[in-house]
Chain A
């Protein structure tokens, strides 16, 4: 059984379709990344799946429960870290977790054990008695992740968990998430616009824009969908004539210049020597040639661009 299954799920705010006929399946036990730019409908989707908002059309089943008619059952079995961490800053870390443990009717001994179990791997257990108002954003975000897992949920929604964190705090939280996910074995529905994060954490990803689901698959699947292998060339004497000549080359699908580096999407990476030869013939002194597969960010940008062209 799927953890999440939606069918033509639609929600509008006035004339704006925040979620547009979303049909999606998230198998149990996966870490599903829901990617999209700001305002693409990610948060609204989570709110619909938690039964916090009603859909205008379509339906959704979460853990086998209808989100419209059985939203209480959905919320009993899910944990959610929404856009804001939602912690009570006047209370201590332990009190914050204890409150959520009480909400889920956990006995006192279980709550205490669980607080230790969750906070120790995050290096927060020793500071559990402190009011969290003065904690850093990264620490609060870690605590908020722990809070979503407090009651052993079957499915966890994480809405941009690393948003607003500095790179070090983001990386730490990502590592903590990976270990917690492995430890807890829950299904995760994670929204993000950080592609590196999705690539690192997710087994499946879906890309959404303007409320429409553009594509779903594993990060590797998505990468393979964009056929273009990529060549990075740095050197001296890369003139405009040299670039113009490359533009006309049959192998070149797309060409960009970034920080003095040529980035060339090719139709066939095995014939990359032809590009190098041509550049040398036009007088370019090549320092470095690097072949790479496109990353998820390129896939994402390409999909978004295609969708934009489709709209036009």
Chain B
């Protein structure tokens, strides 16, 4: 089954990396992402970029957006382009197809993040040459590597779930956008929490080690992803997908 998962993932990545669709549109979308996040933003921020808190958002949150941009296509796109039924008529098991597509989306997200990290580091070192090599702090690097995988995984598992249910790519993208609003909901609801509660939460967080917070968040993400994948496995039924 492992070989089958890699076969499916390989095809998905090949399609993603052939730079655009059959008409040649969006040919440079990946290059634009690398240009903005790997060159423009680091140059605007200067040498402080390597220590900047913006990095936490870029490396921790951006993979979600990058993956959500492609993940809607995985099943809804196959259905829309009438390639899904042919795929379901092959010897591939349900799990191979599902995990292959998940792996492709996940790989796309964290690989793109790591490439952009590397390009941004090169940009800073070339653009602001000074004494010594500028590097991201170790904790930030480790956090970025781990969270880019987890956040890509979260986006991929939400996306696969949405893509399985959606009738078209457009519908899947709309559902993904709505899903992202739901993710931001807790932050928006913060202002409605009573002042006393907020202070208590703040006190708790101040006394907790950042590493512990990171591990806690990572565990929560892992559990959520596992649940989403379990639901996707239940939803993935050949006969249902054929009739949809």
B48 within 8 A of A: no
B14 within 8 A of A: yes
Do A50 and B14 touch (CB < 8 A)? no
Within A90-126, which residues are at the interface with B (CB < 8 Å)? 90-91, 95, 99-100, 102-105
Name the distance in Å between B26's Cβ and chain A's nearest Cβ. 11
| B66-87 interface code vs A (CB 8 A; 1 in, 0 out) | 0000000000000001111111
Do A53 and B22 touch (CB < 8 A)? no
Do A86 and B21 touch (CB < 8 A)? no
Contacts of A52 in B (CB 8 A): 85, 88-89, 238-239, 242
In the assembled complex, the Cα of A75 lies from the Cα of B96 at a distance in Å of 15
- With A99-B7, A103-B91, A103-B92 in contact, is A134–B22 under 8 Å at CB? yes
Q: How large is the interface on A (under 10, 10 to 19, 20 to 34, 35 or more residues)?
A: 20 to 34
Do A76 and B91 touch (CB < 8 A)? yes
Number of CB contacts from chain A to chain B under 8 A: 80
B3 within 8 A of A: yes
A84 within 8 A of B: yes
Please indicate which of the listed interface residues B3, B7, B89, B243 has the most CB atoms of chain A within 10 Å of its own CB.
Answer: B89
In the assembled complex, the Cα of A102 lies from the Cα of B9 at a distance in Å of 12
Q: Which residue from chain B places its CB closest to the CB of A81 in the assembled complex?
A: B86
Q: Is the interface of B mostly helix, strand, loop or mixed?
A: helix
Name the distance in Å between B218's Cβ and chain A's nearest Cβ. 34
Within B177-215, which residues are at the interface with A (CB < 8 Å)? none
Within B1-38, which residues are at the interface with A (CB < 8 Å)? 3-4, 7, 10-11, 14-15, 18, 20-23
Q: Which single member of B11, B86, B243 contacts A82 (CB below 8 Å)?
A: B86
Name the distance in Å between A190's Cβ and chain B's nearest Cβ. 15
Q: Which single member of A50, A72, A83, A87 contacts B83 (CB below 8 Å)?
A: A87
B90 within 8 A of A: yes
In the assembled complex, the Cα of A239 lies from the Cα of B229 at a distance in Å of 76
B51 within 8 A of A: no
Do A86 and B86 touch (CB < 8 A)? yes
Contacts of B21 in A (CB 8 A): 89-90, 133
A293 within 8 A of B: no
- With A86-B83, A88-B83 in contact, is A100–B18 under 8 Å at CB? no
- With A75-B89, A90-B22 in contact, is A47–B83 under 8 Å at CB? no
Do A133 and B23 touch (CB < 8 A)? yes
Contacts of B85 in A (CB 8 A): 52, 82-84, 86
Contacts of A37 in B (CB 8 A): none
Do A47 and B242 touch (CB < 8 A)? yes
Q: Which residue from chain A places its CB closest to the CB of B94 in the assembled complex?
A: A72
Name the distance in Å between B141's Cβ and chain A's nearest Cβ. 35
Name the distance in Å between B12's Cβ and chain A's nearest Cβ. 10
Contacts of B3 in A (CB 8 A): 105
In the assembled complex, the Cα of A131 lies from the Cα of B25 at a distance in Å of 14
Contacts of A131 in B (CB 8 A): 18, 22
Do B22 and A80 touch (CB < 8 A)? no
In the assembled complex, the Cα of A45 lies from the Cα of B97 at a distance in Å of 24
Do B15 and A88 touch (CB < 8 A)? yes
Do A91 and B83 touch (CB < 8 A)? no
A176 within 8 A of B: no
In the assembled complex, the Cα of A102 lies from the Cα of B10 at a distance in Å of 10
Do B91 and A75 touch (CB < 8 A)? yes
Do A103 and B86 touch (CB < 8 A)? no
Do A91 and B15 touch (CB < 8 A)? yes
A54 within 8 A of B: yes
Contacts of A81 in B (CB 8 A): 86
Chain B interfacial positions (CB closer than 8 Å to A): 3-4, 7, 10-11, 14-15, 18, 20-23, 81-93, 238-239, 242-243
